[in-house]
Amino acid sequence: MFLFGPSTLQERRRYYREEWSDKDVPDFIMEEIIKKEFGFDHNGTGPNDRYKTFRGPKSLRRFLRSKAPFAAYVSVAYYAEPRRREGWEKAEYVFDVDAKDLPIRTCDCDGVCEICLGEALEIVNNLIDTLKSDLGIKNIHLIYSGRGYHIRILDPDMVTAGSGLRSEVLKYVAGAEVPKTKFVNPNNINSNLDMPHFMIPIAYPSVFTKRVKYDILHLKGTENIDGINPRLLKDMIKYRNYLDNNEWVPFKNKIGPRRYKDMEQGLAKVNLSTIDAKVSIDLKRILRLPSSLHSKVSMKCVEVKNRENFDPLKSAVPKFVYERKDS
C-alpha cells in the first residue's frame, strides 16, 4: 500500500492555489525555462498534454492554478524550440531510483513505505558519493519524486554526452558489471595475479564491493534473483555476518568459488535494475516537475537541500493530507 491515498481534484486545486510557489522550482529549471518542454497529466492516465512552454514563473503559475493537473512534468532536455522539441542543445543526466521498484528491500509493503523510502535514499546517497569521489562530478541536484529520487546532473561534460557515455557511467556508478580478477604479474609476465574485487580498495572494484555488500546485508531471503538459487541465497544470508567486518575471504570460502561467481553475476544484474536505465540514457525524457504534486500518493516532488537528514514525511507532505487525517 502507499503511505497516502490519491489526491482529489479539490485537493489539487487547493495545493496549487494556496501552497505551490515558483520559488520551489529549482534554479536550473527556472533560469532557462523558455528552453524546457512541459507535459501534463490531467486525469491520471499519463502525460498526454505535451509540448507546453512557458515564458516565466507567472505563466507557469497561472496554468497550474487554472488546471490543477494530476501530474506535471518537465523535460531533461533544453531546446531552441521546445514547443516542437527541435534544436536540442543539452540534457540533464539522470539517475531514477524508485522505492517501489527496488529489487532488494527489507520491507513487506506492496507500494512505498517509510522503510523502503529510507533505503532508496541510502542508495542515492551512495550513488552521489561515487559520482563525486570517483568521477569528479559536482553539479548534482537531488529531487524527491514522491515515491523515490531523481539525481539530476548538470556538469558540462555530461549534459552534452550521448546515450553511450551515459550508459557506461551508469554501469560504473551502479556496480553493474563484475570486475576483472586476472592481472599481469609484474614479476613474471608469463603468469597472472588473481585479485578478487574485495582485495582492490580503489576505483571500480571498490565501487562493486560496496554495492554487493549493501545487497547482501539487505536480503530478506524471499528475493528471486536471476542466477542465484534458493540454497545459495540462504547461504549468503547465513554467512553475511562476516561482511560486518569486511571479512570477505572467509565469506567467499563459505560460499565456494563457483557459487561465488554465480553470486557476483546475479548481484551485478540487481545493481543495474536498481536504477531505471531507460531514464538515464534518454536524451528527451520528461520527469516530474520539482514543486509539483504526485497525486497518486499525495506527496510533493521537492528538491532535497540536505540529503543527510532529509525526511519526506516531514518535507514533502502537503497540508491537505494532515487535515485529511484529522477529519
Q: Which of 27, 96, 226, 244 is catalytic?
A: 96
What's the alpha-carbon Rg for the chain, to the nearest Å?
22
Q: Which three cell numbers stand for residue 75?
A: 523535460
Q: Which three cell numbers stand for residue 106?
A: 527489507
Which stretches of the chain are DSSP H helices?
A: 9-14, 27-30, 57-67, 114-133, 156-159, 163-174, 203-217, 230-238, 248-255, 257-273, 277-281, 312-315, 319-326
Which residues share a beta bridge with 299?
Answer: 294
Q: Is 293 exposed, middle or buried (0-12, 13-18, 19+ CB in 10 A)?
A: buried
157 is catalytic: no
Give the 3-state secondary structure of residue 127: helix
98 is catalytic: yes
Longest distance between any two alpha carbons in the chain, whole Å: 77
108 is catalytic: no
Phi/psi of residue 108, nearest 5 degrees: -115, 15
Say if CB 13 and CB 295 are below 8 A apart: no
Q: Which of 24, 27, 98, 326 is catalytic?
A: 98
For residue 38, count other CB atoms closer than 10 A to its CB: 24
DSSP state of 143: E
Give the 3-state secondary structure of residue 176: coil
Q: Which of 235, 276, 282, 326 is catalytic?
A: 276
Say if CB 185 and CB 193 are below 8 A apart: yes
Task: Give the residue numbers marked as catalytic.
Answer: 96, 98, 276
